[in-house]
């Protein structure tokens, strides 16, 4: 597996694109939408995971399905690798360029093509920002449920590629539950359609389901049809403050065992609280608290107060030091602040940040967190935890400085131990960020050789030459 | 590395705290008007920060086309700042990058001449005399209707349209048009000259809200004299003791944004000394761009012996709408009209002032406020962006004009002369009525009708 260190040093020489190929691409997408000058390619060397940097050979920014098809046909004919890129917010290096590959970016494919109020469906281009879809459908009383924490910036194409989740996916499920149809351009430029028109049961093998989460290795989705939900009538939000992580964990277990169906259950640990409160984003969480728990219920008004009362009782029974309840939208945002701003606050206390992503059975959370703390101590690293407690999805944030080679090495080793730990308790190596390049090396922890070969073959069906996003996902 | 690169490297190294928090999350991308239209990472805040970082690391030359083009193409609207979870101070970094870019390769003639003219009182005085003559004779308006097309003619037309847009709104206060233009004058013309501080007579209201000095500014003084007067009069009515602050100058924002930090500091020093001498409680500004720059004077002098004084000065800078909103502005007489309200970037994003201008409008009975769709997005004004980047400027400006027109309001209202000129110019070029007012102008008009000035 490629370690961050190897890739950080941009030792690999990026090849430039021959003028002929560049001109052919410009003829398709327009003069200004093919970037070939090395100085202008530097900005594309990383996505949201900056531990890795590779300058691409060129960047092409098409606007329509037809343009994507023609661009891929040209590149396929020349045997050039393609790395699809949306907003570049991914945290597993899924859009990391390859030195001889061309980035095909969807930034200009940002139109919502249709909103069908009656059938509660919308069709959008891949470059549409997740939150924009909800904004556009709000006038009809509808919204798009998957809400990655980056939803104000990440795009639907990337959400499909990563099968993205978010805080509210505890109740509502991840992207695959909402995508009903896809127009896909394959590696050779062929355009195919999977599903469509809200079909619940496809009269065949579920190709939509197979494509979602393929991390850019199967094709580029150029039209995405999604199911919309009616906006919930009401919402109740609670914040529980606990002396220990163990107590917060008990509260979560009780809430889930009691039959309640919260929309979100999120925890920030002591280290995160300290970081947030020391930053400009101070949310008013007590800095001596062991954990803070955000619980949210939504749905029809009737019953919401009952649900919130019962959750509060669970917190109190688990020795919560304090439980706050929002009485206005403003207060609600205030309770969420410490959770939502955690990522940015980390950015202020260390030059580099690796946001890890793994999933463990909910009941194993306390012991896993205790062990992660030990791992941090063993490798002398600062690790702060933020996680979707309801579904056991952990995000250990490892703080480091890229300039420090020794520290980078320890980050890599600690990451591997955390992943092994999560797998050993029955979990897996990603919850929602995808495998990308960062966790490719951990794939053998969760798949045996037979399974890996099946995955390779599935990829071969879509892209026999392996030109699409090479070096990602599969070891 | 070139000299510019070394300087930027040094400057940014000193700014590590400001640059390093960027975790490359991309939250700034959707807020950026240039990225939204071009889709190029290099034209996004994250991309520009990456280019700066590359110059610091010696991987990119500050004189390169890539650095020059993309740093120059930024509107400087700072819409990326409030959405940044790490609190990256983009505006400050942009100014340093612009300085490095300008050192590595001098900016174009138009920008350079404008900075020289604005930095010199006699030169800009002459420019504005010419401007007022073109405006008063109606030549500017005529030229907008009859000049055509692209290139130099198009740029000239846009410049004249901006000039024409500074005309006092004819339809202000319709249907009772007789009230227009009869406001008694508080003569502030001596503010730029030497002399001892004086007090402007404070109406009948008791002085309790503190003393203020009004920044006369360059464009405001040259083309929006009525706005400076309205600022003084409305503050006076609301209990502020308005003093004339002599020997003040242009705020230097244009220079700082253009990479000429040396001139920006010279002008800033002049203002700090002038307002200190006057000993006012508040330095009041009616132009968002100037206010944002003056609230950042402390940063401008970072590491300079002047820093402490500059920071103390910056603490006292307030937008006029902030002061009025803070005292809960006295209500005036009704002015029946609907206004299309647009947020200036340098008020909303750079200063975090959002509701105050609307509170000022609330004090004018009869005004129906229609907030423009995407009012938080830049109008494309950004100094002389429409002239230096005609295509992209027209694209961004065109979207704003369309959104303004969709409100079908009687007047446009926005609390910043730069935006007033940009939106007014766009409307005029389209052949629409381009009447634009500052909220304080409307309040002033309402007070005048109420008889507060008698």
The residue among B34, B36, B85 with the most chain A CBs within 10 A of its CB, best to mutate, is B85
The residue among B17, B25, B53, B67 with the most chain A CBs within 10 A of its CB, best to mutate, is B25
**Res A9 pLDDT > 80:** no
Number of domains in chain A: 4
Distance of alpha carbon B418 from alpha carbon A47, whole angstroms: 36
In this prediction, residue B242 carries a pLDDT of 87
Q: What is the mean pLDDT of residues B43-47?
A: 96
| Cβ within 8 Å, pair A343-B84 | no
**Res B92 pLDDT > 50:** yes
pLDDT tens digits for B293-316?
A: 999 898 888 888 988 999 998 999
| Cβ within 8 Å, pair A87-B26 | yes
State whether residue B338 is helix, strand or coil: strand
Residues A214 and A258 in one domain: no
The residue among B17, B39, B62 with the most chain A CBs within 10 A of its CB, best to mutate, is B39
Find residues 76-115 of chain A whose CB sits inside 8 Å of chain B: 87-89, 105, 107-108, 110
Task: Confirm or reject contact between A43 and chain B (CB < 8 A).
Answer: yes
**Res B207 pLDDT > 60:** no
Task: Confirm or reject contact between A16 and chain B (CB < 8 A).
Answer: no
| Cβ within 8 Å, pair A347-B66 | no
- Using a CB-CB cut-off of 8 Å, the residues of chain B touching A37 are 65-66
**Is A471 part of any domain?**
no
Residues A312 and A360 in one domain: no
In this prediction, residue A316 carries a pLDDT of 95
**Res A7 pLDDT > 50:** no
pLDDT band at B9 (very low <50, low <70, confident <90, very high): low
| Cβ within 8 Å, pair B85-A152 | no
| Cβ within 8 Å, pair B85-A107 | no
| Cβ within 8 Å, pair A47-B42 | no
- Using a CB-CB cut-off of 8 Å, the residues of chain A touching B46 are 43, 88
pLDDT band at B12 (very low <50, low <70, confident <90, very high): low
**Smallest Cα–Cα separation from B251: which of B212, B295, B187?**
B295
Q: What is the mean pLDDT of residues A191-208?
A: 79
Show which residues on chain B lie within 8 Å of chain A, measured between beta carbons.
20-30, 35-36, 38-42, 44, 46-47, 50-51, 54, 59-61, 64-67, 70, 83-87
Bridge pairing between strands A102-105 and A82-85? parallel
State whether residue B216 is helix, strand or coil: coil
Find residues 45-64 of chain A whose CB sits inside 8 Å of chain B: 45-50, 59, 61
Report which of residues B8 and B248 the model is more confident about: B248
**Res B196 pLDDT > 70:** no
| Cβ within 8 Å, pair A39-B64 | yes
| Cβ within 8 Å, pair B66-A47 | no
Distance of alpha carbon B272 from alpha carbon B249, whole angstroms: 10
Residues A60 and A134 in one domain: no
Domain termination residue (choose one: A197, A230, A263): A230
Contacting residues for B419 by C-beta, under 8 A, at least 6 apart: B288, B342, B344, B379, B381
Domain containing A141 equals 113-230
Report the CATH number at residue A428: 3.30.70.2740
**Res B188 pLDDT > 60:** no
**Is A451 part of any domain?**
no
Q: How far is B65 from chain A (nearest CA, A)?
A: 8
Torsion angles phi and psi, residue A154, rounded to 5 = -75, 155
- Using a CB-CB cut-off of 8 Å, the residues of chain A touching B20 are 347, 351
pLDDT band at B15 (very low <50, low <70, confident <90, very high): low
**Smallest Cα–Cα separation from B381: which of B435, B353, B343?**
B343
**Is A214 part of any domain?**
yes
**Res B179 pLDDT > 70:** no
pLDDT tens digits for A333-374?
A: 888 877 877 877 777 777 788 888 899 998 888 889 889 989
Domain termination residue (choose one: A321, A349, A377): A349
Q: How far is A450 from chain B (nearest CA, A)?
A: 36
| Cβ within 8 Å, pair B25-A341 | no
Length of chain B: 454
pLDDT tens digits for A279-299?
A: 767 788 899 999 999 999 999
**Number of other CB atoms surrounding residue B110 within 10 Å:** 13
Q: How far is A461 from chain B (nearest CA, A)?
A: 32
**Is A463 part of any domain?**
no
pLDDT band at A203 (very low <50, low <70, confident <90, very high): low
Q: How far is B164 from chain A (nearest CA, A)?
A: 34
In this prediction, residue A462 carries a pLDDT of 95
**Is A474 part of any domain?**
no
Distance of alpha carbon B23 from alpha carbon A94, whole angstroms: 16
pLDDT band at A179 (very low <50, low <70, confident <90, very high): very high
**Res B438 pLDDT > 90:** yes
| Cβ within 8 Å, pair B23-A42 | no
- Using a CB-CB cut-off of 8 Å, the residues of chain B touching A346 are 23
Report the CATH number at residue A123: 3.30.465.10
Side-chain-side CA neighbours of residue B359 (13 Å): 15
Q: Number of CB pairs < 8 Å for A and B? A: 110
Residues A211 and A292 in one domain: no
Torsion angles phi and psi, residue A39, rounded to 5 = -60, -30
Residues A258 and A219 in one domain: no
Domain termination residue (choose one: A349, A364, A382): A349
The residue among B15, B16, B22, B26 with the most chain A CBs within 10 A of its CB, best to mutate, is B26
3-state secondary structure chain A: CCCHHHHHCCCCCCCCCCHHHHHHHHHHHCHHHEECCHHHHHHHCCCCCCCCCCCCCEEECCCCHHHHHHHHHHHHHHCCCEEEECCCCCCCCCCCCCCCCEEEECCCCCCEEEEECCCCEEEECCCCEHHHHHHHHHHHCEECCCCCCCCCCCEHHHHHHHCCCCCCHHHHCCHHHCEEEEEEECCCCCEEEEECCCCCCCCCCCHHHHHCCCCCCCCEEEEEEEECEECCCEEEEEEEEECCHHHHHHHHHHHHHCCCCCCEEEEEEHHHHHHHHHCCCCCCCCCCCCEEEEEEEEECCCCHHHHHHHHHHHHHHCCCCEEEECCCHHHHHHHHHHHHCHHHHHHCCCCEEEECCEECCHHHHHHHHHHHHHHHHHCCCEEEEEEEHHHCEEEEEEEECCCCHHHHHHHHHHHHHHHHHHHHCCCECCCCCCCCCCCHHHHHHHCCHHHHHHHHHHHHHHCCCCCECCCCCCC
Residues A8 and A32 in one domain: yes
Angle in degrees, 0-180, between the axes of helices B139-146 and B417-429, rounded to the nearest 10? 50
**Is A216 part of any domain?**
yes
Are A156 and A133 in contact, with CB atoms under 8 Å apart? yes
Element (H, E) at B412: strand B411-413
Mean pLDDT for all residues in chain A: 90
Q: What is the mean pLDDT of residues A407-434?
A: 91
- Using a CB-CB cut-off of 8 Å, the residues of chain A touching B83 are 152
Report the CATH number at residue A74: 3.30.43.10
In this prediction, residue A39 carries a pLDDT of 93
pLDDT band at A120 (very low <50, low <70, confident <90, very high): very high
**Is A242 part of any domain?**
yes
| Cβ within 8 Å, pair B25-A348 | no
Find residues 410-439 of chain A whose CB sits inside 8 Å of chain B: none
Residues A90 and A27 in one domain: yes
Distance of alpha carbon B360 from alpha carbon B290, whole angstroms: 20
| Cβ within 8 Å, pair B39-A110 | yes
pLDDT tens digits for B333-350?
A: 888 888 899 999 999 988
Q: In what order do the strands lie in the sheet with B337-341?
A: B367-371, B337-341, B411-413, B436-437
ipTM greater than 0.85:
yes
Residue B21 DSSP label: T
**Res B450 pLDDT > 80:** yes
Report the CATH number at residue A244: 3.30.70.2190
Residues A299 and A375 in one domain: no
Q: How far is B90 from chain A (nearest CA, A)?
A: 14
Cα–Cα distances in Å, from A403 out to A66, A409, B55, B59?
A: 44, 11, 17, 16
Give the range among A127-131, A200-204, A380-384, B183-187 with minimum mean pLDDT.
Answer: B183-187
| Cβ within 8 Å, pair B83-A152 | yes
Cα–Cα distances in Å, from B155 out to A433, A463, B76, B382?
A: 48, 51, 21, 15
| Cβ within 8 Å, pair A154-B26 | yes
pLDDT tens digits for A442-461?
A: 999 999 999 999 999 999 99
Residues A238 and A220 in one domain: no
Question: In chain A, whose CA is at the least distance from the CA of B61?
Answer: A39
| Cβ within 8 Å, pair A344-B25 | yes
Residues A100 and A121 in one domain: no
Q: How far is B37 from chain A (nearest CA, A)?
A: 8
| Cβ within 8 Å, pair A347-B47 | no
**Is A422 part of any domain?**
yes
- Choose among B20, B40, B50: nearest Cβ to A351: B20
- Using a CB-CB cut-off of 8 Å, the residues of chain B touching A341 are 85
State whether residue B68 is helix, strand or coil: helix
- Choose among B26, B50, B85: nearest Cβ to A42: B50
| Cβ within 8 Å, pair A153-B35 | no
pLDDT band at A16 (very low <50, low <70, confident <90, very high): confident
- Choose among B21, B39, B59: nearest Cβ to A107: B39
Distance of alpha carbon A260 from alpha carbon A257, whole angstroms: 7
Mean pLDDT for all residues in chain B: 81
Domains identified in chain B and CATH numbers: 3-104 (1.10.1060.10), 109-162 (no CATH), 168-174+327-450 (3.40.50), 181-324 (no CATH)
**Smallest Cα–Cα separation from A293: which of A387, A360, A367, A368?**
A387
pLDDT band at B17 (very low <50, low <70, confident <90, very high): low
Residues A236 and A345 in one domain: yes
pLDDT tens digits for B372-403?
A: 888 888 988 877 787 778 788 888 888 988 88
- Using a CB-CB cut-off of 8 Å, the residues of chain B touching A395 are none
Residues A305 and A387 in one domain: no
Question: In chain A, whose CA is at the least distance from the CA of B41?
Answer: A43
**Res B1 pLDDT > 70:** no
């Amino acid at each position: 597996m490629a370690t961050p260190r190897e890739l950080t040093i941009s030792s690999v020489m990026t090849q430039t694109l021959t003028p002929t190929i560049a001109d052919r691409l410009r003829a398709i997408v327009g003069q200004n939408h093919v970037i070939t000058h090395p100085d202008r390619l530097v900005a594309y060397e990383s996505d949201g995971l900056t531990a890795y940097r590779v300058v691409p050979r060129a960047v092409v920014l098409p606007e329509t399905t037809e343009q994507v098809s023609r661009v891929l046909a040209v590149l396929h004919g020349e045997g050039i690798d393609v790395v699809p890129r949306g907003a570049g917010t991914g945290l597993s290096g899924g859009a990391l360029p390859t030195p001889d590959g061309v980035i095909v970016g969807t930034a200009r494919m940002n139109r919502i093509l249709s909103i069908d109020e009656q059938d509660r469906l919308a069709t959008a281009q891949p470059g549409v920002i997740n939150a924009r879809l909800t904004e556009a459908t709000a006038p009809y009383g509808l919204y798009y449920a998957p809400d990655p924490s980056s939803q104000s910036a990440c795009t639907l194409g990337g959400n499909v590629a990563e099968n993205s989740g978010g805080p509210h996916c505890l109740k509502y499920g991840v992207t695959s539950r909402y995508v009903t149809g896809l127009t896909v351009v394959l590696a050779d430029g062929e355009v195919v359609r999977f599903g469509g028109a809200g079909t619940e049961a496809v009269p065949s093998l579920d190709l939509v389901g197979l494509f979602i989460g393929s991390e850019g290795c199967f094709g580029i989705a150029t039209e995405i049809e999604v199911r919309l939900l009616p906006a919930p009538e009401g919402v109740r939000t609670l914040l529980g403050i606990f002396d220990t992580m163990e107590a917060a964990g008990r509260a979560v277990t009780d809430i889930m065992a009691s039959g309640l169906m919260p929309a979100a259950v999120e925890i920030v640990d002591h280290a995160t609280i300290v970081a947030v409160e020391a930053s400009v984003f101070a949310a008013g969480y007590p800095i001596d608290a062991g954990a803070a728990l955000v619980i949210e219920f939504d749905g029809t008004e009737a019953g919401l107060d009952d649900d919130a009362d019962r959750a509060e009782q669970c917190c109190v029974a688990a020795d919560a030091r304090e439980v706050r309840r929002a009485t206005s939208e403003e207060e609600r945002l205030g309770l969420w602040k410490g959770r939502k701003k955690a990522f940015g606050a980390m950015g202020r206390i260390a030059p580099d940040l690796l946001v890890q992503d793994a999933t463990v059975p909910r009941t194993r959370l306390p012991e896993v967190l205790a062990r992660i703390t030990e791992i941090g101590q063993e490798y002398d690293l600062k690790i702060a935890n933020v996680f979707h407690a309801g579904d056991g999805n952990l995000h250990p944030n490892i703080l480091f400085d890229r300039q420090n080679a020794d520290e980078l090495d320890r980050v890599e080793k600690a990451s591997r131990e955390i992943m092994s730990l999560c797998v050993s308790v029955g979990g897996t190596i990603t919850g929602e960020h995808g495998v990308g390049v960062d966790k490719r090396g951990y794939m053998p922890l969760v798949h045996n050789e037979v399974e890996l070969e099946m995955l390779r073959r599935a990829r071969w069906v879509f892209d026999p030459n392996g030109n699409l996003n090479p070096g990602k996902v599969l070891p | 590395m070139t000299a510019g690169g070394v300087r930027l490297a040094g400057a940014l190294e000193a700014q590590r705290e400001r640059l390093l928090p960027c975790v490359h999350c991309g939250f700034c991308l959707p807020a950026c008007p240039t990225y939204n239209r071009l889709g190029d990472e290099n034209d996004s805040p994250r991309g520009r920060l990456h280019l700066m970082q590359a110059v610091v690391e010696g991987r990119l030359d500050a004189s390169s086309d890539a650095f020059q083009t993309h740093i120059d193409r930024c509107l400087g609207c700072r819409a990326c700042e409030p959405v940044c979870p790490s609190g990256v101070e983009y505006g400050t970094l942009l100014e340093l990058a612009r300085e490095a870019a300008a050192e590595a390769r001098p900016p174009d003639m138009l920008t350079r001449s404008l900075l020289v003219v604005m930095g010199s009182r006699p030169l800009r005085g002459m420019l504005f005399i010419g401007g007022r003559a073109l405006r008063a004779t109606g030549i500017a308006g005529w030229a907008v209707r009859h000049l055509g097309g692209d290139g130099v003619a198009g740029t000239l037309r846009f410049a004249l349209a901006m000039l024409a847009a500074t005309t006092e709104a004819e339809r202000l206060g319709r249907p009772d048009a007789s009230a227009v233009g009869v406001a008694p004058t508080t003569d502030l013309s001596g503010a730029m000259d030497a002399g001892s501080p004086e007090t402007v007579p404070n109406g009948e209201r008791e002085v309790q809200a503190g003393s203020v000095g009004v920044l006369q500014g360059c464009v405001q003084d040259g083309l929006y004299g009525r706005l400076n007067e309205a600022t003084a009069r409305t503050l006076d009515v609301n209990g502020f003791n308005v003093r004339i602050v002599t020997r003040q100058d242009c705020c230097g924002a244009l220079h700082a944004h253009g990479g000429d930090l040396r001139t920006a500091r010279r002008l800033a020093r002049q203002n700090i000394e002038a307002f200190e001498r006057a000993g006012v409680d508040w330095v009041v500004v009616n132009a968002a761009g100037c206010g944002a720059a003056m609230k950042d004077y402390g940063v401008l002098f970072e590491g300079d012996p002047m820093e402490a004084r500059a920071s103390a000065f910056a603490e006292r800078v307030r937008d006029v709408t902030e002061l009025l909103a803070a005292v809960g502005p006295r209500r005036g007489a009704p002015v029946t009209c609907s206004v299309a309200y647009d947020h200036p970037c340098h008020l909303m994003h750079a200063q975090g002032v959002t509701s105050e201008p609307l509170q000022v409008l609330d004090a004018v009975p009869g005004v129906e406020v229609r907030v423009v769709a995407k009012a938080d997005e830049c109008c494309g004004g950004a100094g002389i962006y429409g002239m230096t980047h005609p295509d992209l400027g027209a694209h961004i400006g065109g979207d704003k004009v369309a959104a303004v027109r969709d409100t079908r309001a009687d007047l446009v209202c926005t609390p910043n002369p730069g935006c007033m000129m940009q939106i007014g110019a766009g409307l005029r070029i389209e052949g629409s009525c381009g009447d634009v007012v500052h909220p304080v102008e409307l309040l002033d008009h309402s007070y005048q009708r109420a008889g507060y000035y008698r």
